[in-house]
Amino acid sequence: MNELIEVAFKAALQGGAAILNVYGSEDFDIEIKGDNSPLTRADRAANDCITAVLSGTKIPIISEEDVRNHTFEERENWTQCWIVDPLDGTKEFIKRNGEFTVNIALVVNGKAECGVIYVPATDTLYYGGSSIGSFRVDDASTIKINDIIRAARKLPLQDKPSGFHVVGSRSHGSAETENFISRLRQEFGETSFVAAGSSLKFCLVAEGKAHLYPRFAPTMEWDTAAGQAIAEAAGCTVMVWPLQQPLRYNRRDLTNPWFLVSAPGVEVMHLSELPAEEDVN
């Protein structure tokens, strides 16, 4: 596992460096994809760097920017694969608010076994896996790849804050999420909401800075696989809402169902009155 994690470190850091090269330029070369989401020169550059590094493992790759390269009939025979979002939070990247990440996960038999999330703007790297725990590394690009594990701090870094803290999407809110937060306020009293971009929301719960991350709006597998691995390795739960089933990967439909990320010891499944989406494919 450590060997594959170090490959993912290298891929994430190289992808992050490619992103920052574009971030400091005047021209992002923005396109609008078929799903109406933006694509920039940074997405493409990061994807090229990451896939070049990961391809050396001979493990197949599902990347947001290359997803059409593999049919489900091919993918369903894979026992393991990398799931990659070269630039998660492209809207935040375009806004230049720093809330964008590189997401790399290793999925084994549908389960997110380990994940790496790199935040280029702050040079912060998160990683975690079922057999190793969950960690944060500051100033990651200044550390040799084989020294990163020794420099890591174990998550969570702090006890959960007082009051009730919910983290959610900065750019993809929903009426269902607002309804859920209203019910939390009725149940627990003072409840604060913090907006954050990209997979940073998983990291905030894993660090102990938030109690919950509800996502009752569309996401794709590459948006969540790395974050789920990190959060679960920190003792959090990531469950399909409200079905209380694990969120699985390399499905026929790569669109995720609604899900809820809960910090250790937080139980809100009794608030499951929202309409259920279709079951996991």
Q: What is the CATH number of the domain that holds 198?
A: 3.40.190.80
Q: Among all chains, which residue has been given the structure tokens 């149940």?
A: 187
Given this model, what pLDDT does residue 235 score? 97
User: What is the total count of domains within the chain?
Assistant: 2
Q: Among all chains, which residue has been given the structure tokens 């997405």?
A: 43
Residue 280: inside a domain: no
pLDDT in tens, 204-217: 999 999 999 999 98
CA angle 49, 53, 57 (to 5 degrees): 155
Q: Are residues 7 and 29 in the same domain?
A: yes
3-state secondary structure of 47: helix
Given this model, what pLDDT does residue 280 score? 40
Given this model, what pLDDT does residue 163 score? 81
Mean pLDDT of the residues in the chain: 92
Q: Are residues 88 and 118 in the same domain?
A: yes
Distance (Å) of CA 35 to CA 31, 43, 54, 180, 225? 11, 15, 26, 27, 20
Q: Are residues 54 and 144 in the same domain?
A: yes
Q: Dig out the tokens for 37 from the structure.
A: 């989401």
pLDDT in tens, 131-159: 999 999 999 999 999 999 999 999 999 88
Q: Hey, which of 70-74, 124-128, 192-196 has the most confident mean pLDDT?
A: 124-128
Helix (H) / strand (E) containing 168: strand 164-169
CA 40 to chain CA mean position, Å: 19
pLDDT in tens, 13-60: 999 999 999 999 989 999 998 777 889 999 999 999 999 999 999 999
